Structure 1
Amino acid sequence: MNRLRLHIENITPVNDEEFEFIKSFFTLKKVRKNQYLIQEGEDVKYEYLVLSGIYRVFYSDDLGKEYVCMFAQENWWMSDYNSYFNQKPASMYLECLVPGEVLCLSLYGREKLAAELHKMEHFFRMKMTRGFIALQLRIKMLLCNAPQKRYEEFAKLYPVLIQQIPKKMIAEFLGLRRETLSRLYTNQK
């Protein structure tokens, strides 16, 4: 739980009493490779803070084609947020790619923390703001950049992910065919 405290204190300081209250809302979960934390159609009970491991959040269309929305690694938050906040069945999947641990936070816990501790309301607002900015930058990257530029930016921003995630999934994330990514990857070497 010390890592949770450090994560929160990157945005706002908390004292020992506040942190005892905060940590009471989180549960630790060990996650195996290929384990799903969320599957389409299920109730979404938690958002997750990644302590370790690598995860992907993706959609699947009626033909089984997958569309990766995000990869998550240490200190990233993830969920199917439309389902989490609106309390409706999931429309996406959250899968573990590299085994690790996550902290689970229910919507009730999040709301209670935000209501009772202004510091946590501020923390959650800052995290959501940063996530929204990252999403806008991702959309811009997909709409405005050629495949080569998309790959170069991804490789620069996420050097660990480029080494640990299957190329097929990176291609899905970048909106490319697997063959195109292979050609770009070969040209970089």
Structure 2
Amino acid sequence: MHYNGSKLFFLRLTAHYWPSDGLLIWSAIQEWVESYVEHFYSEPNSVTSDLELQAWWNEIKNKGHYDKRNEPWWPKLNTKEDLSGILSTMICIASGQHAAINFGQFPFGGYMPNRPTLMRRLIPQENDPDYEKFIMNPQHTFLSSLPTQLQATKIMAVQDTLSTHSPDEEYLGQVNPLHNH
């Protein structure tokens, strides 16, 4: 495989959530992307001579990621293999990895003490006046630092929304009967 970097990047991001399924999804997407790119870019220099494609990649690097535009890790976009790797990475991150990270949030994060997304006060340092109280009863300090009931409810609502599948959701590889024409 020519574009190993993006595959390793994808696997590192998803290894905790779905290691074996992630590889299968990556392979299926990569295979589909490679056949698609081969179909539309069959000539040897077709990727470099596609001005719209080059402008798209230039905009992603230089405008969309202005602060990172000079980083050495940006892949080149000169060959069909380069294009296939870039597209495979984007599709995998926007589909499989996003779903793996997104849909599992609420069962754990919906209970505020498990993963508070904000705290109302910092843990006292040794020179703080409240440090002794913290040492004597760390649980009280933690619980009194959690978001208010209103804040927690708002956070839980957002996490629930992010974790909920849409009733009209379409999945990779699913053929919608309305799109058959």
Question: Shorter-normalised TM-score: what interval?
Answer: under 0.3
TM, length-normalised to structure 1: 0.24
**More helix, by proportion:** 2
TM, length-normalised to structure 2: 0.25
Larger Rg: 2
**More strand, by proportion:** 1
